[in-house]
Structures are given as structure tokens and as C-alpha cells.
Amino acid sequence: MSTDFLTPLDAFTIIDLVFMTMLVVVGIAIVRLKDLFAVVMLSGVYSLVAAAWFVSLDAVDVAFTEAAVGAGISTVLMLGAMLLTAREAAPTKPIRHWVALLVVCATGAALLYATVDMPSFGDPLSAPNAYVGLEYLKRTGADTGVPNVVSAVLASYRGYDTFGETTVILTAGLGVILILGMGSPLRKKKKPAPAKTKTNTNKDEIIGAHHVVLRVVSKMMIPIIIIYAAYVQFHGDFGPGGGFQAGLIIASAIILYALIFGVEAAKEAVPPSLVRLGAALGVLIYGGVGVINLLLGGKFLEYNVLNPTHPAHGQELGIMFVEIGVLVTVASVMLIIFYGFTSRQPDISDKDW
């Protein structure tokens, strides 16, 4: 670690400082506000600012994911969850949790304590920049033929971690299936039939009357969104993107459809049983690639054996397939969560929006 390397106070540093200040301000506002709708919106803003900050830090892949997850899908999911509860947080008596405050302060102090010995920001000689990180930068081209080093690290060098993360997402989906359910047919039958048809016609009238622009625009947008998802998916080798982001974008497109045309229509287009299958299938595709490598005489997730004459081509092929696995599971689980939330209520009624 060099001691003479210091970050000059240039434009980028100032931009970073502005972003960090904004994050703190938004964070405090989220804690103080009682209006849940504003909280959800602000948490979207928080993620967007964070994504912008990551771009300025040259972590474009992380920024893309943060924007897709934090500002995109989780805002929609939180809105869905919010509709199940009140618009405002119940007023609580201010209780002074001194022990909790002490613990939080101690944690902060520990982090501050550590900053003194941390390498300077951007120090090219610091351990993370000089050791394994540098090695990845040097080798990726020859090893995998994939220009985006992040994709290569994520899907090949540390592909086993990503396999684990895909399983984490499937597990989250299993949790929603088991605890919230996905709007099983049993639950619908319980509802008195006449009431249901009444609300349906009611809703159709309202949508037909007021949302022509929304319907037309979203019908035009949805195919474009899905094409964009395909671009993000397959361009992940060259630029920021990959299965995770693309899966989120596809799920967003379907959720958009559900918001405009009703959840029932979305469930007809993409039935819950299919989504449940998809969540399992994605992990099986990812693991399946690994098992095929194994049967071809390689190690688990050793994509080289897919093309013995051109190992780098094998790598590209393997990375493509595992990214498809990630896409399928991520998109499916996002829909499982969305269906899980919306099945807890009749439908997102127009009045609430």
C-alpha cells in the first residue's frame, strides 16, 4: 500500500460527496416520515441516487442492478405490500432504546476505527486492486474471451457463488409460496361469486373509461421492455448486464401488464403454476450446466470442457447458459412474490391508485 497516493479533490470527488450527502438526507427522511407511500417512493429515490453514485465509482454493473432492484422492482413490490396495510404508519410512542443506541454507536465507532488503516480510495497498490483483482483483469480475455470482466468473475471464476445466490432467490420464492401462497384456486372459490363478477365489471368500466392512454402506451411498451431485457441478457458479456438484471426487467414488464390490465389477466398470460416451475427450472439449468461439465470429465462449472478445442468458446457457452438459468429463476421468483402479495387482497382496486 502506498502512502503517497492521495485522492485529489477533483470534480468526481465532489460529485461523490454530493451523492453521499443526498443518501444520508433521504435516509433520515425515510426514518422520520409516517406516510408509507412517501417512504416507498423515497426508498426508490434512495436506490436511484445510490445507483448514480455507483456509476460515478465506476461500478456500472452494480449500479445497473441497484437501479433495477432498488428503484424498479422493489418499489413495485413495496407498493403491493403497502396496499395490504394502511397508508400511514400507526403513531407509536417514542421509546428510548438506550441499549440499541449504544449498540448502533459501537458498530459505527468500530467502522470509523477501521477507516484509519484503510487504503486510500482508488489506490492502485492497495490489496484488493493489486492482488486477485488485478489477476482477473489480466487473465479474463485469454481465459474466457468475455470482454466484461465482471461477467466473467460472476459467472465463471466465482460461478459457484452465483449458483448459490440463484438458490437464495429460489429459496425466497419458496418462502412466499409456503407462507403467503400464490392465490390458490381454493381461496378464490370461497368468495361469493356474484360479488366477484360485480367488482370485475366495475373495474373494467373504470379502466375502459379512464385509462385508454395507459393501456395503449403500455401495450406498446411491454414488447419493447422485453426486447430490452433480451438485449441486457445477451449483451452482459460485453457491457453491464446479465441474467439477474434481465430477469428483473422481464418481471417488471409482466407486473406492468398486471397493474394496467389486472392481476387476473396477468395470471392468465403467465399462470402461477408456470412461474413456480420456472423458479425451480432456473436453478436446475444452472446446476445442470455444472453437472454436464462434471460428466464430460471436468470439475463442476468448468465450462472449458464444453468445447475442448477452444476452451474460451466453452467458457462463453457455459456463461450464456448459466445466465439463462439466473434469468429464469429471477424473473419467476419476482412474479411469485408479486402474485403472493396480490393474492392477499381482491385486486389492486383503481380507487387506491
Partner 1 sequence: MMALAGIDWNTILPAWMIAHAAALLVITPLLSGPIALVLSRGRLAWAWALGISAITFVLALILYGQVLDHGSVEYVFGNWAPPLGITYNIDALNILILLIVAGMGFLSLLYGLPSIMREIAPKDQAAFFATYMICLAGLMGVAITGDAFNVFVFLEISSISTYILVAMGAGNDRRALTASFQYLILGTIGATFFVIGVGLLYMATGTLNMADITAQLQVHGDSRVVRAAFAFIIIGLGLKTAMFPLHTWLPGAYTYSPTMVGVFLASTATKVAFYAMVRFILGVFSPAAPFDGALLELVLAPMAVAAMIICSVQALYQTDLRKLLAYSSVAQLGYMLLGLSMGTAAGVSAGLLHLFNHALMKGALFMGVGIFVLSYGVRHVKDLRGLGKAMPLAAAAFTVAGLSLIGVPLTAGFVSKFYLITAALDRGWWWAVVAILISSVLAIFYVGRMLEAMYLREAVKPAPRSKKAAGNKPPVIALVPLLILGVANIWFFFDASMPKALTDAAASALFGGGTP
Q: Summarize as ranges the residues that interact with partner 1 (CB under 8 A).
A: 110-111, 113-114, 116-119, 126-133, 135-136, 139, 156-161, 164-165, 167-168, 170-172, 174-175, 177-179, 184, 276-277, 279-281, 283-284, 287, 290-291, 294-295, 298-304
Give the chain's end-to-end CA distance (angstroms, integer): 55
DSSP 240: S
Find how far residue 121's CA is from the centre of its chain.
27
Closest contact distance (angstroms) between CB of 101 and partner 1 is: 15
> Which of residues 26 and 333 has its CB atom nearest to partner 1 in the complex?
333
Least distance from partner 1 to the Cβ atom of residue 343, Å: 14
Helix boundaries (H) for 91-242? 98-115, 127-130, 132-144, 149-152, 159-179, 185-190, 193-210, 212-235
Q: Which of 267/276 has CB closer to partner 1? A: 276
CB of 168 to partner 1, least distance (A): 5
Residue 86: closest CA among 46, 45, 31, 39 = 39
**CB-wise, 157 or 257, nearer to partner 1?**
157
Please tell me the number of Cα atoms within 13 Å of 139 on its side-chain side: 11
**3-state SS assignment for residue 237:** coil
DSSP 48-104: HHHHHHHHHTT-HHHHHHHIIIIIIIHHHHHHHHHTTS-SBPPP------HHHHHHH
Closer residue to partner 1, CB minimum distance, 240 or 290: 290
**By C-beta, is 19 or 286 nearer to partner 1?**
286
- The CB-of-201 to partner 1 minimum distance in angstroms stands at 31
Q: How far is the CB of 15 from partner 1 (least distance, A)?
A: 23
135 versus 352: smaller Cβ distance to partner 1: 135
Query: What is the closest distance, in whole angstroms, from the C-beta atom of residue 122 to partner 1 in the complex?
Result: 13
User: Judged by CB, which is closer to partner 1: 123, or 260?
Assistant: 123
Minimum distance from CB of 311 to partner 1 (Å)? Answer: 10
Least Å from the CB of residue 249 to partner 1 = 23
Closer Cβ to partner 1, 78 or 249, answer by number: 78
In angstroms, the CA 247 to CA 328 distance is 7
Q: Closest Cα partner for 43 from 81, 73, 70, 67?
A: 70
Q: How far apart are CA 199 and CA 203, in angstroms?
A: 6
Instruction: State how far the Cα of 20 lies from the Cα of 72, in Å rounded to an integer.
Output: 21
